[in-house]
Amino acid sequence: MAVPLPAPRPQPLPQGQRERMILRVLRRPAERPARRLLTRLHPADIARLAPLLTPDEQGELWSTLLEMRLAARTLRELDGETRQGVLARLGDEQLAAIVGRLSADDAVDLLRELDEERRASTLGRLDPGRAADPRLAVVRIDAEVVAGEDVLEDALDAALEAGRRRLATARPGEQA
């Protein structure tokens, strides 16, 4: 008895053709095929293709990425010039949502890219628990001192208190 041969595997698409197909789907990011594709693509791949979209299409893409909670990882992968363009288009609420999803180190780096007024506005919109992170307190102190507020002592007290709470809740033998 003859054993049927498996069907040949389809050949992968050439890189340029694959990118064009992905871009065609990403032009309508709110539709189901694009959402499925976004969940499967690596944030670096999305970041590489996003600048190829028109400004309106980029706006829709970033709205969808925010909704799907993929914007922070994708923004982290953008090159400096493209990231500045995206940051300029995002509202303060959207930016605060992204900062809230980044690691503290990445959040500090991103916040330092902003002008003082935008940094203070974004920090003011963060969840209070996230804003109390001692690593973000340094950025908050910078923003408040630059804004002319003399709250250095209060900010340091808040950072120290957050550190004390972390130490108090740590288990014996565990680092806070």
Helix, strand and coil percent figures for the chain, each rounded to 5: 70, 0, 30
User: How many Å apart are CA 87 and CA 75, to the nearest integer?
Assistant: 9
Q: What is the pLDDT of residues 138-164, one digit of tens each?
A: 666 555 554 444 455 666 677 778 778
For residues 82-95, average pLDDT: 90
Which among 75, 81, 77 has a CA at the least distance from the CA of 95?
Answer: 75
Q: Over the chain, what is the mean pLDDT?
A: 80
Contact 75, 86 (CB under 8 A): yes
HSE-CB for 96 with a 13 A CA cutoff: 16
User: How many Å apart are CA 139 and CA 8, to the nearest integer?
Assistant: 57
pTM over 0.85: no
For residues 32-44, average pLDDT: 90
Which among 36, 111, 25 has a CA at the least distance from the CA of 68?
Answer: 36
Predicted pLDDT at 21: 81
Predicted pLDDT at 161: 81
Contact 83, 113 (CB under 8 A): yes
HSE-CB for 68 with a 13 A CA cutoff: 23
